[in-house]
Homo-oligomer: A and B are copies of this chain.
Amino acid sequence: MLNQKSDLNRLFGALSDPARRTMVERLSRGPAPVSELASLLPMSLPSVMQHLGVLENAGIVRSEKVGRVRTCSIAPEAFSAAEHWINARRTQWEQRLDRLGTYLASQSEEPDDAP
């Protein structure tokens, strides 16, 4: 009943579904109406609407209705929070591996028990 998921929960969660990734892939080429997104997916229109809701809630997609057509598009900065988090992690363990490498190199140059 509590709907206070973090940005990252919603972002990664939204991207974890293949139907939603298909929608995002289509929208990365440019805006499209709901019905076109639906035409790419083997499911009912209401289901597509629900997926769209998840993507909007995650801040990945925006949409606007004009007349009876709702046009969807990728939001600017759609993935930035996810990219940030991943980059921070990668940086962290790459640095650690660097330090480990340096340490191992120093160990082989001047071993503790050298004569």
User: What's the least CB distance linking A58 to chain B, in Å?
Assistant: 10
Q: Which residues of B contact A21 (CB under 8 A)?
A: 8, 85
CA distance A90 to B24 in the complex (A): 10
In the assembled complex, which residues on chain B have CB atoms less than 8 Å from the CB atom of A27? 93
- For A79, list chain B residues within 8 Å (CB): 86, 89-90
A9 to B18, CA, bound (A): 7
Copies in the complex: 2
Q: A2-28: which have CB < 8 Å to B?
A: 6, 8-9, 11-13, 15-18, 21, 24-25, 27-28
- Indicate which residue in B16, B89, B96 contacts A16 across the interface (CB closer than 8 Å): B16
Q: Which residue of B lies closest to A25 (CB)?
A: B89
The reply to whether B93 and A29 form a contact with Cβ atoms under 8 Å apart is yes
Q: Which B residues lie within 8 Å of A83 (CB)?
A: 83, 86
Considering the chains assembled together, what is the distance between the CA atoms of A90 and B29 in angstroms?
10
